A and B are shown apart, each in its own frame.
Chain A
Amino acid sequence: MGEVPPLTKLYGKYEPKGFAFFIVYVREAHPGENYPHHKSFEQKLEHAEKLRKLEDINKIPIVIDDINGTAHNAYGLLPNMVYLIDKEGMVVYKSDWSDAEEMDGMCATLLRLDEMKARQIPIIRQGTSERLHWIPMDPAMRERIYRRSGQKAIQDYLNAKGHLPYATDSEREKSGNST
Chain B
Amino acid sequence: MDFYNYETYGQCEIGAPDFRSTAKVGMRAPNFTLTGLDGKPVSLTDFLGKKHILLEFGSIT
Contacts and interface: CB of A to CB of B under 8 A. Distances in A.
Interface of A: 1-2, 7, 10, 14, 18-32, 35-39, 41, 45, 47-52, 54, 61-94, 96, 98, 103, 107, 110, 126, 128, 145-146, 148-149, 152-153, 156-157, 159-161, 163
Contacts of A66: 35
Contact of A87 (B18, B35, B49): B49
Q: Main secondary structure on chain B at its contact with chain A?
A: loop
A90 B47 CA distance: 12
Interface string B48-60: 1111111111111
Interface of B: 2, 4-10, 14-16, 18-30, 32-37, 42, 44-45, 47-61
A27 B34 contact: no
Contacts of A149: 60-61
Contact of B59 (A10, A22, A47, A163): A47
Given A1-B59, A78-B16, A83-B29, A39 B48 contact: no
Given A94-B25, A160-B9, A1 B54 contact: no
A91 B23 contact: yes
A30 B6 contact: no
